[in-house]
Structure 1
Amino acid sequence: MGSSAASAAPSQDSSRTPSEPTESASKASAGPKDAQCPGDECIEVAVAGDILLHPALWDQAEADGAGSLDFDPLLAGIAPYLDQSDLALCNLETPVAPKGGPYAGYPMFNVPPQIIEALEKAGYDGCTTASNHSMDGGVPGVKRTLDALDGAGMFHTGSYRSAVEAEKPLLAPVGSAKIAIIAGTYSLNGMKEDAPWRVDDLEKSSLLARAKAARAAGADIVMAAIHDGAEYTSSPTAAQLKLYRALAESGEFDFIYSHHTHSVLPVEKHEGTWIVYGLGNSVAKHATKTVLNTEGLTVKMQFVRTGETWEPGNLVWAAHTIKAAPLRWCALPSASNQPCTTGSKDAASLQRTTETVNSMNAKENGAKMWTLPGQ
C-alpha cells in the first residue's frame, strides 16, 4: 500500500483543488478566548468509527426516503455531538457506486453515494478513506468516492486519484491551527493497488515520514488515523500496542486513533499522547451476531494553544449503539425517553463500553464521558 502523504494541499495554496479544505471546511474560526480554555485558544476535533454500509442500511434509507435513498434519519442522532466540535472526521470504509447502482455488500462493497451528502449534512467536515475495502471497486471506485466527497464539499485523505495528489499533505484549517491527518490501513481485502501511492499504508517509517512532511508544510497539529486491529474484540493486538505507542513516543503525533475492529477498544494516554485503540462502528449492520459490533465511540479531542505552541488537551468520549427498528445511530444513554434497544441492554452496553474504554487507565488520566444536556 502507498506510503504517500495526505491528499490535500495547504489551504493557503491559491491553486487549491476541490478536495482541499478551506476555512469553511471546519466549524471553527479564530475568535475570543473561551472562558473554559486553559490557554490562549482551544479547538476540538471529533472522530468517529467506521461508516460501513451493509445492505440493511440502504434498505432502511429506501424505506425512510419512500423509495429514494435518505440516510439522514440514520445519522441524525450524531449531529448534536458533531455540532459541538470544530472539526469532525469520519472513516468512510467503503467505496461508493454510481448513483443507481449496482450496489454490493460484503465481501466486496460498492455502496450508494447518497451516504456522502448525508454525512456532510450530519456535520462531518471530512473523511479518511484508507481501509481494507478501499480497493473493493478498483481504481474507478477510489476515484468515484473522492469525486463524491469533493462534490459534497468534504475533504479526504488516505486514498488518491493521482501521484501528485498523494504527495500533498492535507492541512485542515481550524481556528488559527492547521491540522494534518495521516491515514493508513493494514490490508486491501485481497486486492492489489495499481500504484504504490493509491492507498496509504501503516508502516511505521511511512507514517513518520508523512507526519514530518506535514510538519514541514506548516501543520501545527498532526493526527494519525489507523485502520487496524482484530475484529470483534475488546483489546488491542500486540502489533497495535507496539506501533501506536511507538508513534506516540516519536513526538511527531499529537493524537492517535483507530478503527476497523467493529468493536470498542481501550483508550490510553501514553507518554503524554492520547491513543484510541478502536472506535468501533459508527453505523453498520453486520450479519455476524455479536453485540460488540453494534457499539461504538465518538471521541472529542481538545487541542490548546499557548503562545505559538499547540498541545493536546482533554479527551471526552460518547458511547452509542445501533437502534434496530428502525435502524438509527443512538446515543448511550439515550437522549430521548425511549431506549435504543431495551433499558437493560442499553445499560449493559454502556457499562461494557465504559469498562473497555477505561481498562488502560483512561479515566485515571482524565478522560471523561461526553454527554449532552438531558442525557
Structure 2
Amino acid sequence: MSDLTLLLGGDVMLGRGVDQILRHPGQPELHERHVASALGYLDLAERENGPIPRHVAPDYVWGDALPYLRDAGLSARIVNLETAVTTSGAYVPKGINYRMHPDNVDCLTAARIDCCVLANNHTLDWGQAGLMQTLDTLWKAHIQTAGAGRDLAQATAPAVLPLAGGDRRLLVFACALPSSGVPEEWKAGAHMPGLYLLPDLSAGSAELVAQDMQRWRRPGDIVIASIHWGGNWGYLIPQAHRQFAQALIDRGADLIHGHSAHHRLGLECHRGKLILYGCGDLINDYEGIGGYAAFRPDLAALYLPRLGTDGRLAALRVVPMQIRNFRLRTPRQSDITWFHHVLARESAALETSLTPLPSGEFEIR
C-alpha cells in the first residue's frame, strides 16, 4: 500500500452563463427577479473582462487547471457540482436556478472528474425530474455521485472509488445542512428522490453519519465526508462546524471536504487529518456582479492533499486559480500574495500554518 493524492475542488457551477458558452447551450430563460436570461450573466462578464468565445471546447473552462486535473498520479478528483444537469423546465421557484444541458457533461469528463458531490442547494432546482436526469447523465458518463439519489438509501450511500494496489477503496459520503439554503422538502425519503439532508449539527447527526461510515468501511479504506453547510459570505467558522467536523474524524472520517461559501475559508488538522471548512467556488459565472469584491470570489483554489495509508495528512498543496472569461487562469503574483495572506490568516486562527512555495502554491506539513 502507498500514499494517495487527491484533487478536491469546491463549488463547480456550470449552469446559467457558463452553460451558454459551451457547445450545447440549454434554454437561457431564467426565473430571477433581476435577470431574465442566462445571457445576461455572459454580458456582465464581457463588460468586466472582455469577450468570451462561444461554442468552446469541453475543457475550455478548466484552463490552467488542466495539468493538475490530468495528472496521472492522482487517485481521484472530487468536486461539488452545484448545477442540475437537465433539460427539465419544471423549475422550483426559489429565486436562483442552475442547470446545464446534459450534452455538456463532456465538460466534466474533459477534466477527468471522478466524483460529483450532489448534496447542495441547487441539485433539485429543476425538481425531481431534473435530479433523475442529473443522476442518469453523470452515471452514463462514468462519473460517480454522492449525497443524492432515487431514495434515502441511495442518497446516504457513498461513492465508492477503487484505489490502485489491492482491494483498498475511497469512500465519499456527502450531506447537506439547512444553513446552506437546502429546502427541507428536498430531503430524500424511503421511497422519494432527494438529498442526504441532516437536520442540524448535533451529536446525533454526527452519529448518523458515523454509522453510515462504519457500515460501509472495510479495512484499508479511506473515508471522505463532504459537507455543504453555512452561508455564502463571511470568514467566521461557527464553533458548531468545528465540533461536527472533529466529531466525524473522531468517529472514522479521514478528511472533511466542506463547501458552500463562495470564497475560501480557513483549514485545520485534527488528529493529523485534514478539515477543509470551505473550498470556495471553483467555477462560476459571477464576473461583473458587484457587492462582494472584498472576498475576491474570482480567486479559486485546487486542493491536493496527500494521505498516508492510515488516512493522516502527509502533505497538502493549495494551488491558487483565478476565474476570468469563465475560465481558470493562473493569477498574477499580487493576487497570489493576497490569496496566501487571507488563507494563512484564517487558518492561523485554527492553529494551522501555511508555507508559500516558489511556484506560487502553498503547503502545510
**TM norm structure 2:** 0.75
Letter in 2 for 1:196: G
Alignment CA distance shift 1:347-1:211 (3 Å) = same
Match of 2:173 among 144, 158, 182: 182
For residue 86 of structure 1, what is the aligned residue in structure 2? Answer: 75
Alignment CA distance shift 1:355-1:221 (3 Å) = same
Structure 1 residue 109: Cα displacement = 2.2
Find out whether 1:273 has 2:268 as its counterpart: no
Distance, in Å, in 1 between the alignment partners of 2:158 and 2:220 is 9
Over residues 231-253 of structure 1, what are the superposed CA-to-partner deviations in whole Å (9 max), with x where a residue is unaligned? 22123123212211222233x11
For residue 236 of structure 1, what is the aligned residue in structure 2? Answer: 237
Over residues 122-171 of structure 1, what are the superposed CA-to-partner deviations in whole Å (9 max), with x where a residue is unaligned? 12112111002222121111111111111211111110024553465432
Write the mapping of 1:291-330 to structure 2, written as runs, cut at 5 A.
Answer: 291=293, 292=295, 293-305=297-309, 311-323=312-324, 326-330=325-329
Distance, in Å, in 2 between the alignment partners of 1:370 and 1:107 is 40
Structure 1 residue 344: Cα displacement = 4.2
Letter in 1 for 2:272: G
Letter in 2 for 1:200: Y
For residue 24 of structure 1, what is the aligned residue in structure 2? Answer: none
Alignment CA distance shift 1:301-1:194 (3 Å) = closer
For residue 31 of structure 1, what is the aligned residue in structure 2? Answer: none
Q: Give me the CA root mean square deviation.
A: 3.1
Alignment CA distance shift 1:346-1:43 (3 Å) = closer
Over residues 205-242 of structure 1, what are the superposed CA-to-partner deviations in whole Å (9 max), with x where a residue is unaligned? 221111111215x6611111000123221231232122
Write the mapping of 1:91-110 to structure 2, written as runs, cut at 5 A.
Answer: 91-98=80-87, 107-110=96-99
Report the number of matched residues: 315
Write the mapping of 1:1-375 to structure 2, written as runs, cut at 5 A.
Answer: 40-53=1-14, 55-61=16-22, 68=55, 70-84=57-71, 85-98=74-87, 107-163=96-152, 165-166=154-155, 168-176=157-165, 177-187=168-178, 189-190=182-183, 192-193=185-186, 195-196=188-189, 198-202=194-198, 203-216=205-218, 220-250=221-251, 252-286=252-286, 287=289, 289-291=291-293, 292=295, 293-305=297-309, 311-323=312-324, 326-331=325-330, 334=331, 339=332, 344-345=334-335, 347-363=337-353, 371=359
Alignment CA distance shift 1:167-1:53 (3 Å) = closer
Q: Which runs of 5+ in 2 are unaligned?
A: 24-41, 43-50, 199-204
Distance, in Å, in 2 between the alignment partners of 1:244 and 1:88 is 21
Alignment CA distance shift 1:116-1:48 (3 Å) = same
Q: Secondary structure at the match of 1:41?
A: coil
Percent of residue pairs identical:
21
Structure 1 residue 346: Cα displacement = 5.3
C-alpha contact (below 8 Å) 2:254/2:273 kept by paired residues: yes
Q: Secondary structure at the match of 2:306?
A: strand
Structure 1 residue 178: Cα displacement = 0.5
Q: Secondary structure at the match of 1:192?
A: helix
Distance, in Å, in 1 between the alignment partners of 2:170 and 2:64 is 26
C-alpha contact (below 8 Å) 1:103/1:110 kept by paired residues: no
C-alpha contact (below 8 Å) 1:224/1:256 kept by paired residues: yes
Over residues 284-326 of structure 1, what are the superposed CA-to-partner deviations in whole Å (9 max), with x where a residue is unaligned? 1234532322223221121223xxx554422221122211xx2
Structure 1 residue 91: Cα displacement = 0.7
Q: Which runs of 5+ in 1 are unaligned?
A: 1-39
Judge which range, 112-121 or 238-247, deviates more: 112-121
Q: Secondary structure at the match of 1:86?
A: strand
C-alpha contact (below 8 Å) 2:161/2:171 kept by paired residues: yes
For residue 22 of structure 1, what is the aligned residue in structure 2? Answer: none
